[in-house]
């Protein structure tokens, strides 16, 4: 029997517990989000984050900067937020306009307020199996899903497709830290199918609808689909041919309703965790 991994259910449970903890606080955690320009998708994401934060009692501020803002103006704004003790978590919505160096922006955010876990300090902490201030949202959410469904990681062969800084790379390292045997695949990987067929757990973070077909997986595989794509009818879908692969999988995430809700859930938990860390310093 295949079990459909329900990201909506798991995230709801985690957020319910989080809102109860926040309700007990006198001083509330706060998240500052910087958005540069008018990209419609970025605006939607930022509004969703703000709405979710407010539902939970997190103080949320959105700082809108124009498309032609200079790099130094943006860096100064981050510096201001770094110094502002009322701000616990800082997020700069990506992508940024081409004239701004995203790496410089990421490195400007104080590691103690780096809610996305993009800063080299926190990334390096994961790479050395040490404690970062927080873990990156999507990989953290995926580990929560595996944990909720009691899916063993230690000793398993996990194949991660995708090596982005946001998903693939940190995911692979976090799994390694949990004693998985990890293989990372990417666009230059030869014979992808030969590798995916060996996976006990397959995590696809590519962004190509229909990439993972039934022939590419073994029986009883656990499939985590991170992809967010549109099919030919404009419907949201993942990287995995869900209907086909479901027939062989022991567990599988749907799109929507799998990894997606977990990402925003992790962002909220991370904001809370950074708030807690800031309190410990006092
Ligand atoms: P990305 O930066 O574009 O990375 C995609 C990765 O896939 C790259 O490493 C690329 O390889 C690899 N790739 C491309 N074509 C491939 C192929 N044919 N075979 C094997 N690997 C291939 O994307 P991302 O930011 O990691 O996001 C990946 C997907 O997840 C997107 O659909 C995104 O929308 C979605 N996403 C969802 C969530 C969520 O919360 N649900 C969160 C983040 C991202 P190279 O490195 O060689 O180019």
Taking only the tens place, the pLDDT of each residue in 32-43 is: 999 999 999 999
The confidence score (pLDDT) of residue 282 equals: 59
Same domain, yes or no: 102 and 213: no
Q: Report if residue 23 sits inside a domain.
A: no
Mutate to test the pocket of ligand 1, among 102, 136, 187, 213 (most ligand atoms within 8 A of CB): 187
Domain count, the chain: 2
**Ligand 1 midpoint to CA 166 (Å):** 9
Final residue of a domain: which of 94, 110, 126? 110
Contact 52, 59 (CB under 8 A): no
Report which protein residue has its CA nearest ligand 1's atom 17.
Answer: 187
| Angle formed at CA 220 by CA 252 and CA 169, multiple of 5 degrees | 55
Reported pTM: 0.98
Q: DSSP for 18-41?
A: HHHHHHT-SSPPEEEEEEES--HH
Residues in a beta bridge with 203:
160, 224
Residue 228 C-alpha to ligand 1 middle, in angstroms?
9
What is the atom index within ligand 1 of the atom nearest the CA of 207?
32
Residue 273 forms part of a structural domain: no
Cα of 207 vs centre of ligand 1, distance in Å, is 5
Residues 142 and 253 in one domain: yes
Q: Exposed e or buried b for every residue in 71-83, given b needs 16+ CB within 10 A?
A: eeebbebbeebee
91 and 198, same domain (yes or no):
no
Return the CATH number at 45: 3.40.50.10860
pLDDT of the residue at 245: 98
Which of the listed residues 11, 226, 267 should we mutate to test ligand 1's pocket, taking the one with most ligand atoms within 8 A of CB?
Answer: 226
Could you tell me if 141 and 35 lie in one domain? no
Please check whether residue 94 lies inside any domain of the structure: yes
Residue of 144, 171, 186, 231 to mutate, ligand 1, most atoms within 8 A of C-beta: 186
Asked if 98 and 175 sit in the same domain, the reply is: no
Taking the C-alpha atoms of 245, 195, 158 and 15 in order, what is their torsion angle to the nearest 10 degrees?
-40
pLDDT of residue 162: 98
Closest ligand 1 atom to Cα of 188: 47
* Structural domain includes residue 5: no
Q: Is pLDDT of 281 > 80?
A: no
Same domain, 167 and 238: yes
Specify the ligand 1 atom closest to the Cα of 259: 41
Query: In this structure, which residue's CA is closest to atom 32 in ligand 1?
Result: 207
Local confidence band at 151 (pLDDT 50, 70, 90 cut-offs):
very high
Is the domain of 236 the same as that of 152? yes
Structural domain including 242 reads 137-260
- Ligand 1: distance of its center to the CA of 203 in Å? 11
* 71 falls within a domain: yes
pLDDT tens, position by position, 160-204: 999 999 999 999 999 999 999 999 999 999 999 999 999 999 999
Tell whether 241 is covered by a domain: yes
Residues with CB under 6 A from ligand 1: 138, 161-164, 166-168, 185-189, 192, 205-208, 226-229, 259-260, 263
CA of 59 to the centre of ligand 1 (A): 31
Residues 71 and 150 in one domain: no
Q: Is residue 16 part of a domain?
A: no
- Verify cis geometry, omega within 30 degrees of 0, for the bond prior to 256: yes
What is the domain-level CATH number for residue 157? Answer: 3.40.50.720
253 in the same domain as 165 = yes
Q: Tell me how far apart the alpha carbons of residues 89 and 102 are, in angstroms, rounded to a whole number.
A: 18
β-pair partners for 223: 202, 252
pLDDT band at 154; cut points 50, 70, 90: very high
- The mean per-residue pLDDT over the stretch 80-102 comes to 98
Q: Given the CA of residue 262, which atom of ligand 1 is nearest to it?
A: 40
Give mean pLDDT, residues 89-103. 98
Active-site annotation, residues? 49, 93, 116
Rounded Cα distance between 105 and 108, Å, is 5
Residue 122 domain-assigned (yes or no): no
Is 160 in the same domain as 101? no
Please indicate, yes or no, whether residues 80 and 162 belong to a single structural domain of this protein: no
Q: How far is the CA of 133 from the centre of ligand 1 (A)?
A: 25
* Closest ligand 1 atom number to CA of residue 264: 40
228 φ, ψ to 5°?
-130, 105
DSSP 209-275: TT-B-GGGS-TT-EEEE---EE-TTS-EE-SB-HHHHHTT-SEE--SSSSHHHHHHHHHHHHHHHHH
Q: Are residues 101 and 192 in the same domain?
A: no
- Those residues whose C-beta lies under 8 Å from the C-beta of residue 27, and which sit 6 or more positions away, are none
């Amino acid at each position: 029997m295949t079990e459909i991994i329900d990201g909506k259910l798991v995230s709801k449970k985690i957020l319910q517990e989080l809102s109860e903890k926040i309700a007990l606080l006198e001083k509330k955690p706060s998240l500052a989000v910087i958005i540069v320009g008018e990209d419609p998708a970025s605006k939607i994401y930022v509004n969703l984050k703000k709405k979710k934060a407010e539902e939970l009692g997190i103080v949320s501020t959105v700082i809108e900067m124009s498309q032609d803002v200079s790099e130094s103006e943006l860096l100064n704004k981050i510096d201001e937020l770094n110094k502002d003790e009322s701000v616990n978590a800082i997020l700069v919505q990506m992508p940024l306009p081409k004239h701004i160096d995203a790496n410089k922006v990421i490195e400007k955010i104080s590691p103690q307020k780096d809610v996305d876990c993009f800063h080299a300090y926190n990334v390096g902490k994961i790479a050395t199996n040490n404690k970062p201030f927080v873990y990156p949202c999507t990989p953290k959410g995926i580990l929560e899903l595996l944990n909720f469904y009691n899916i063993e990681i230690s000793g398993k062969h996990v194949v991660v497709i995708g090596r982005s800084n946001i998903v693939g790379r940190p995911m692979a390292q976090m799994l390694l830290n949990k004693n998985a045997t990890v293989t990372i695949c990417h666009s230059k990987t030869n014979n992808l199918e030969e590798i995916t067929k060996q996976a006990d757990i397959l995590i696809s973070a590519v962004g190509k609808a229909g990439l993972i077909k039934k022939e590419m997986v073994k029986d009883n595989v656990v499939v985590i689909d991170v992809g967010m794509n549109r099919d030919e009818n404009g419907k949201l879908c993942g990287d995995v041919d869900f209907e086909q692969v479901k027939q062989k999988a022991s567990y599988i995430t749907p799109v929507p309703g799998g990894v997606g809700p977990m990402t925003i859930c992790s962002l909220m938990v991370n904001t809370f965790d950074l708030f807690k860390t800031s309190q410990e310093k006092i």
